[in-house]
Amino acid sequence: MKIAIAGSGAIGSGFGYLLKKGGHEVTLMDFWEDHIQAVQQNGLTIAVNGQQDNIDIPMDKPENIQEKFDVVFIFTKSMYLQGMLEAIEHTLAGNTKVVCLLNGLGHEKTIAEYIPKENIIMGTTVWTASLEAPGKTSLMGQGPVEVQEVDPKGKEAALTLVQVLSDCGLNGIYSADVHFTTWRKACVNGTLNTLSALLDANIEELLQSDYVQHLIREIVEEFSRAAKAKGIGLEVEEMITYLNEASKKVGTHYPSMHQDIMNKRPTEVDFLTGEVAKIGAKNGFKTPKSQTLTELIHAKEDVLGISREH
Amino acid sequence: MKIAIAGSGAIGSGFGYLLKKGGHEVTLMDFWEDHIQAVQQNGLTIAVNGQQDNIDIPMDKPENIQEKFDVVFIFTKSMYLQGMLEAIEHTLAGNTKVVCLLNGLGHEKTIAEYIPKENIIMGTTVWTASLEAPGKTSLMGQGPVEVQEVDPKGKEAALTLVQVLSDCGLNGIYSADVHFTTWRKACVNGTLNTLSALLDANIEELLQSDYVQHLIREIVEEFSRAAKAKGIGLEVEEMITYLNEASKKVGTHYPSMHQDIMNKRPTEVDFLTGEVAKIGAKNGFKTPKSQTLTELIHAKEDVLGISREH
């Protein structure tokens, strides 16, 4: 298969590497000059669960790539999705499948502005990755990658993709309800990431506080109501149990939004609590916690001088 | 006059010093052993606007003081007011005036549990002070101290107090509406202190953010509504203008709640946005911003391991 990775940072490089090792024709796309140069000159150096390797793999800016692809995986921050779609539009054929594993809500609608719904495959993944230096990355975990079509006509493509992912060691799973999985993940991030970033605390420190537990419940109630407005059943008690269970495994981990704030990068808050607040406003119900948290995170970006331009 | 200072930290020591220099019989009361010992052994060392002095002044724990006083000034953190009243109750005669210049809301009601309303004098001050070491403090500013009785029968006592304060260089002013002044000050603190503590930003950094300005407006609207429920006219536009004007003078200053958080001390948030949320709940209107901010500040105390026991 001819596969492109649109956004080849830590996680994108990891997927690109395993797909290429699995026998596919893979092209990495990104905008970061230093990273592109490093990969072009020295290949991609990568450790998959500690296993070091170096491979030659084509990498360039989208504007320099003239081919069309069978499948494009998008790995950008939520707020750069639209810009990336603009940049790669010329590489999409009428039947190119676009796979979106981004965190956050509302992405399907954004992608549907560029390609037919039957070509969209949505999903989530728990693979983690880090980028140590230009051209040097690592991939951690065992996955899985859960994916599902968003239009019945796309089911065959989704099943093929699951096979491709699994054959390449990425642990593909066909999701029976990708919308639910996406919302559940967004709800975990919308509670723990925002509170961690705002209170400068790791997951373990957060969950010990009764006030945090109270806030989590209120935020989850808003996510549940917004999910319902979108036809998705996100049950409050189940969600709170899931969230506390999932958190036990990560303990002293600082979520990505905390890292964004510490490194003075814009956060994805608009696609988490921000999207819940938007859905509430559209459907006539109040989301005081989601709205306040979104405003406070943006206020925090402001006082740190973080630009939200993209 | 026989005057006691109940809570003789930075600001209390400053008031005690100037009142004693003005010819009154002043006793300092506090609970901090090291500070009491230092003052007992070496006197109180103080700089008033840079002017150094050292005086002998009686100081002890309330339980060791058996006299009764004409006037008692209370200078504690809001959450220690009730405990202080318990501790000094035996020093209050039937006609002892209690003067409360604390920040925050709801104190009058607490004091009225211990003495008749006609003996309560409420006020605000803009004197600032710091405590460098046990027995060593400084007082800065020119005041004023605005005071007013809360019961018409207390007016003469309030006017006498204004005279005493002015004679001693503390710049006493008779306030025409001490409830308004208290609410206005609480509103400044309830917006800027909470946001500064939460976002780890000084006043100047805060006010540059559009998101902060938006949050300030929403918080002020809630303060205005709660004030109205208490019969006090706190007009939103006037308050926002006042707040921005007052803030220009303090620029890079970090408010006291930020300092509390940095020094891992409990905050006074329950007597600012917390009180607004309580008034809202009692009077059947929503205060989402005040409530969320109060919860977030308490969550921040929790993750820092700050105890709220007193």
Q: Tell if the CB–CB gap between A288 and B292 is shorter than 8 Å.
A: yes
Mean pLDDT of B242-256: 84
Identify the contact set of chain A against chain B, taking CB-CB distances under 8 A. Answer: 195, 198-201, 205-206, 208-212, 214-215, 286, 288-289, 291-293, 295-296, 298-300, 302-303
Find chain B residues with C-beta within 8 A of A289's C-beta. Answer: 288, 292
Q: Is residue B309 pLDDT above 80, yes or no? A: no
Q: State which residue of chain A sits closest to B210, comparing Cα positions.
A: A299
> CA dist B184 to A39, B77, B226, B270, Å?
60, 18, 12, 16
Q: Kindly report, residue by residue over B119-138, the tens digit of the pLDDT.
A: 999 999 989 899 999 999 99
- Please tell me the distance from the alpha carbon of residue A126 to that of residue A137, in angstroms, as a whole number: 17
Q: Is residue B111 pLDDT above 70, yes or no? A: yes
If you compute the radius of gyration of chain A from its CA atoms, what whole number of angstroms results? 19
Q: Tell if the CB–CB gap between B212 and A293 is shorter than 8 Å.
A: no
Find chain B residues with C-beta within 8 A of A199's C-beta. Answer: 296, 299-300, 303
Each residue's pLDDT expressed in tens, for chain A with a length of 310 residues: 999 999 999 999 999 999 999 999 999 999 999 999 999 999 999 999 999 999 999 999 999 999 999 999 999 999 999 999 999 999 999 999 999 999 999 999 999 999 999 999 999 998 989 999 999 999 999 999 999 999 999 999 999 999 999 999 999 999 999 999 999 999 999 999 999 999 999 999 999 999 999 999 999 999 999 999 999 999 999 999 999 998 887 777 888 899 999 999 999 999 999 999 999 999 999 999 999 999 999 999 999 999 987 5
Q: Tell if the CB–CB gap between B303 and A215 is shorter than 8 Å.
A: no
Mean pLDDT of B76-85: 96
Query: What ipTM goes with this model?
Result: 0.88
The number of CA neighbours under 13 Å toward the Cβ of B239 is: 30
* Chains A, B: CB pairs < 8 Å: 80
Interface test mutation site (partner B, options A218, A258, A303, max chain B beta carbons within 10 A): A303
Could you say which of B77, B97, B136, B185 is catalytic? B185
Find chain A residues with C-beta within 8 A of B214's C-beta. Answer: 295
Q: State which residue of chain B sits closest to A211, comparing Cα positions.
A: B299
pLDDT classification of B310: cutoffs 50, 70, 90: low
Residues 6+ apart with CB under 8 A from B68: B2, B91, B92, B93, B96
- Please tell me the distance from the alpha carbon of residue B38 to that of residue B44, in angstroms, as a whole number: 8
Q: State which residue of chain B sits closest to A194, comparing Cα positions.
A: B296
Interface test mutation site (partner A, options B192, B209, B215, B307, max chain A beta carbons within 10 A): B209
Considering only the beta carbons, identify the residue of A208, A209, A303 that sits closest to B201: A303
Catalytic-residue membership of B249: no
Q: What is the pLDDT, as a whole number, of residue A220? A: 98
Find chain A residues with C-beta within 8 A of B264's C-beta. Answer: none
pLDDT classification of B21: cutoffs 50, 70, 90: very high
Considering only the beta carbons, identify the residue of B211, B289, B303 that sits closest to A205: B303
DSSP H helices in B32-90: 33-42, 81-88
- Please tell me the distance from the alpha carbon of residue B80 to that of residue B35, in angstroms, as a whole number: 18
If you compute the radius of gyration of chain B from its CA atoms, what whole number of angstroms results? 19
pLDDT over 90 percentage in chain B: 94
Q: Tell if the CB–CB gap between B302 and A200 is shorter than 8 Å.
A: no
Q: Tell if the CB–CB gap between B296 and A208 is shorter than 8 Å.
A: no
| Amino acid, single-letter form, for residue B76 | T
Nearest CA-CA distance, residue A212 and chain B, Å: 6
Q: What is the pLDDT, as a whole number, of residue A304? A: 97
Residue with tokens 């006219």: B233
Q: Is residue B155 pLDDT above 80, yes or no? A: yes
Where does residue B133 fall: left (phi above 0), alpha (psi -120 to 50 degrees), or beta otherwise? beta
Q: Tell if the CB–CB gap between A211 and B295 is shorter than 8 Å.
A: yes
CB neighbours of residue A253 within 10 Å: 15
Residues 6+ apart with CB under 8 A from B276: B105, B190, B222, B223, B226, B287, B290
Q: State which residue of chain A sits closest to B214, comparing Cα positions.
A: A295
Mean pLDDT of chain B: 96
Residue with tokens 């604390």: B102
